[in-house]
A and B are shown apart, each in its own frame.
Chain A
Amino acid sequence: MKVFEIEGKTVDDATRKAMAELNITDIEKTRVEVIDQGKSGIFGFGVSRPAKIRVYYSDTTADVGDTTKEILLTILKKMGIEGSVKDLKEGENKVYIEMESPRSGLVIGKKGKTLEALQFLVNLMVNHRTKSDKKIILDIEQYRAKREKALRKLSRDIAMKVSKTGRPWTLEPMNPFERRLIHLTLQNDARVTTKSEGQGIYRKVKISPKQ
Chain B
Amino acid sequence: MNYKDLVEYMVKSLVDHPDMVQIKEIEGEKSTILELKVTKEDIGKVIGKHGRIARAIRTIINASATKSGKRVVLEILD
Residues of A within 8 A of B (CB): 71, 74-75, 78-81, 106-107, 109, 113-114, 116-118, 120-121, 124-125, 128-129, 200-201
Contacts and interface: CB of A to CB of B under 8 A. Distances in A.
A116 B55 CA distance: 11
Interface string B45-78: 0000010110111011001101100000000000
Contacts, number: 57
A206 B9 CA distance: 40
A114 B60 contact: yes
Contacts of B50: 200-201
A113 B14 CA distance: 20
B63 to A, nearest CB: 4
B52 A120 contact: yes
Given A109-B63, A113-B59, A75 B6 contact: yes
Interface of B: 1-2, 5-6, 9-10, 13-14, 50, 52-53, 55-57, 59-60, 63-64, 66-67
B67 A74 contact: no
Determine the main DSSP class of B at the interface with A. helix
Contacts of A74: 9
Contact of B60 (A71, A118, A201): A118
Given A129-B13, A200-B50, 17 more contacts: A74-B9, A75-B6, A78-B6, A78-B9, A78-B64, A79-B60, A79-B63, A80-B1, A106-B66, A113-B59, A114-B60, A114-B63, A120-B52, A120-B53, A120-B56, A125-B10, A125-B13
Contact of B59 (A114, A124, A128, A200): A114
Contacts of A114: 59-60, 63
Contacts of A80: 1, 64, 67
A80 to B, nearest CB: 5
Given A75-B9, A78-B9, A117 B14 contact: no
Counting chain A CB atoms within 10 Å of each CB, which of B13, B55, B66 scores highest? Answer: B13
B10 A75 contact: yes
A81 B65 CA distance: 11
Given A80-B64, A124-B53, A117 B13 contact: no
B66 A117 contact: no
A121 B63 contact: no
A103 to B, nearest CB: 9
A121 B56 contact: yes
